[in-house]
A and B are shown apart, each in its own frame.
Chain A
């Protein structure tokens, strides 16, 4: 019984992860502006990876495998948003047509 429950749970997680990744890949090719593409690509490394790895954790059920997968998840969650941040920052720095796409909101401490 618990095995069947585990398989159902893990397949739900894995398929939703695949769905998220599919939608993100579609967005990367469909969007025209860099920031939208960057956000769409960042979804793969955060939400998609989280769902897939959680599904794999549920499948395996061994503590050592779960800990390794948690480490991979942490590493990706620290590293991948930095890459997106750098892409966005480069775009803000060099694109002269930025104002057509983006509205700036200023905070008090920035000015």
Chain B
């Protein structure tokens, strides 16, 4: 594999050949210069292209102005902030959420109380949709054979001290912030979906700069399957238990607790953690499957 500096030196001396070192990539001989060959356009194609390049900006501006007018007129019709006559404020359900949400669920963040307590089955369905999407992508994209990393990707993107050192500093902060958002879900803005996306982004950034082998020690296909399945099973069982107890007015072991503490609000904190695990694993799994067809 040629290092970046060697590429640059060859370039300087004029001995740079665009044939990629394909020792690791098998017998496929591919050249970069092929893709840069100027294809000769026929006259008709040329005229069509010119017509397109003239018509495209005009159409884009017209469409954008129409969209802007529509959206701004919709914004003008919105009720004022804090107005008592908004449609949600006059609905009985929302009023109940706002008035009894804190005492019934124990979550200071009412949104977390609604999506993970009153309407937890919706969130359960969303997590399962994510899992089903990941499974579908896995069925379509995953290949059993181990494809070696192409040396071009390695030479261009991976072996970069600037990127690696920045990643070393940034990724722990990103992961910590994601954990904070998850664990703060019932106390303030945050929750499983947003925190899980942040953690997934951090994992993707780490994989981009260091390659998959380091991350695969922690997160390979087996751990991916086990964590996601255990998370979804825990979610289903816990919510079945709590809905069963709630419907039959039984005493549950997950009370609302003291609002404001981190271990309060009953099931909301564990459910946030579970949703965060599913979301981060799904995001990273999508990235890995589309990049190199395996996790």
Contact = CB atoms under 8 A, between A and B. Distances in A.
Interface size, A (range)? 10 to 19
A92 B162 contact: no
Contact of A78 (B7, B33, B166): B166
A89 B156 contact: yes
Contacts of B163: 82, 85-86
Interface residues of B, number: 20
Given A89-B156, A90-B156, A90-B157, A110 B18 contact: no
Contacts of B12: 104, 106
A61 interface: no
A86 B160 contact: yes
B32 A96 contact: yes
Contacts of B5: 110
Given A79-B166, A93-B7, A96-B18, A86 B157 contact: yes
A94 B32 contact: yes
A108 to B, nearest CB: 13
Given A93-B7, A94-B32, A85 B156 contact: no
Nearest to A83: B163
A75 B171 CA distance: 11
Q: Please give me the 3 A-B residue pairs with the lowest Cβ-Cβ distance, nearest first.
A: A93-B156, A82-B166, A85-B162
18 contacts: A78-B166, A78-B169, A78-B170, A79-B166, A82-B162, A82-B166, A85-B162, A85-B163, A86-B157, A86-B160, A90-B156, A92-B8, A93-B155, A96-B36, A97-B36, A104-B11, A106-B12, A110-B5
